[in-house]
């Protein structure tokens, strides 16, 4: 009975925690399906269901250009970050050199650095060198924060790989690069997926860099564009349209996590226990 009661208690607690976490998402989804003055009422469900806010979102040049910018910037930052982090993590794990722990410590300190504290200097520098309001002007700051995190994730994962397979490939005549590309990288796929998804989520959800280092639709990303979204007209309350845009921006992230959740969990937990 005690075990049954304890299991029921854990179940109830898990349901309450999940419900509490999903409540804001459900509220935004409900708000996006309301129309007109219906957004002003206090009812959770809309009195009249409509998809007009989603039509407004996809007709808006502001949102479509921001969506294109978010996809492009996030994919570029993710590709570069994971490629460099994989090479750096391999070197840290497999090579012996002075200052290895210092490199990891500095990487962690950079990842923990407050983003808002470097926006001002970056704004001045980017205006001077011509990177303001451009894709590279967003990709570079993203890399400075995602690379350390990716290096830590991949280094923790690479430490528990069976290096005998790489040594066997070297003994069979493969070069170090061939062994890395054909043996190490396939084995490290869960860690690579984890680092890639964490990097993509950071770039996709960023607001501070997107709002501070852009000024037009040329490079402004979705989180920053939502701050300027007004809906169908300046006389219409934009709450429902903003909620619809937020739902559209959230769907790719949710699908990404659901599709690769097993690889994410494997990448995060594989380096935790060795043996």
Two tokens, residue 185: 């990288």
For the full predicted model, state whether its pTM sits above 0.85: no
Condensed to tens digits (0 to 9), the pLDDT of residues 223-272 reads 998 888 765 555 566 778 888 888 888 888 888 777 777 766 665 555 54
- Distance separating alpha carbons of residues 229 and 38, to the nearest angstrom: 19
- Name which of 168, 173, 183 is nearest 90 in CA terms: 183
pLDDT tens-digit map of 83-137 = 999 998 888 888 777 777 787 777 777 777 788 888 888 999 999 999 999 999 9
Q: How far apart are CA 16 and CA 18, in angstroms?
A: 6
Instruction: Check if the beta carbon of residue 249 is closer than 8 Å to that of residue 63.
Output: no
Sign of the four-CA dihedral 108, 112, 117, 119: positive
- Is residue 1 very low, low, confident or very high in pLDDT (cuts 50, 70, 90)? very low
Evaluate whether the domain defined by 61-228 bears CATH number 1.10.3720.10.
yes
pLDDT in tens, 172-219: 888 888 888 888 888 888 888 888 888 898 899 899 999 999 988 899
CA 85 to chain centroid, in Å, comes to 16
């Amino acid at each position: 009975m005690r075990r049954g009661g304890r299991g029921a208690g854990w179940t109830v607690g898990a349901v309450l925690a999940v419900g509490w976490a999903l409540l804001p998402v459900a509220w935004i989804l409900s708000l996006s399906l309301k129309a007109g003055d219906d957004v002003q009422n206090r009812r959770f469900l809309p009195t009249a269901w409509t998809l007009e806010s989603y039509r407004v979102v996809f007709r808006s040049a502001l949102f479509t250009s921001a969506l294109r910018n978010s996809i492009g910037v996030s994919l570029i930052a993710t590709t570069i970050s994971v490629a460099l982090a994989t090479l750096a993590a391999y070197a840290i794990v497999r090579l012996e050199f002075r200052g290895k722990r210092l490199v990891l410590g500095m990487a962690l300190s950079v990842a923990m650095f407050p983003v808002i504290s470097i926006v001002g200097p970056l704004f001045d520098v980017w205006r001077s060198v011509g990177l303001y309001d451009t894709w590279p002007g967003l990709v570079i700051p993203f890399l400075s924060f995602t690379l350390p995190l990716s290096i830590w994730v991949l280094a923790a994962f690479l430490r528990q790989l069976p290096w005998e397979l790489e040594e066997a490939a070297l003994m069979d005549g493969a070069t170090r690069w061939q062994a890395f590309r054909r043996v190490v990288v396939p084995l490290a796929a869960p860690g690579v997926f984890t680092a890639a998804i964490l990097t993509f989520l950071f770039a996709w959800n960023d607001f501070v860099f997107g709002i501070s280092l852009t000024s037009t639709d040329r490079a402004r990303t979705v989180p920053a564009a939502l701050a300027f979204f007004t809906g169908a007209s300046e006389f219409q309350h934009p709450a429902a349209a903003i909620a619809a845009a937020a739902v559209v921006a959230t769907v790719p992230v949710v699908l990404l996590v659901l599709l690769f959740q097993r690889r994410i969990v494997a990448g995060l937990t594989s380096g935790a226990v060795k043996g």
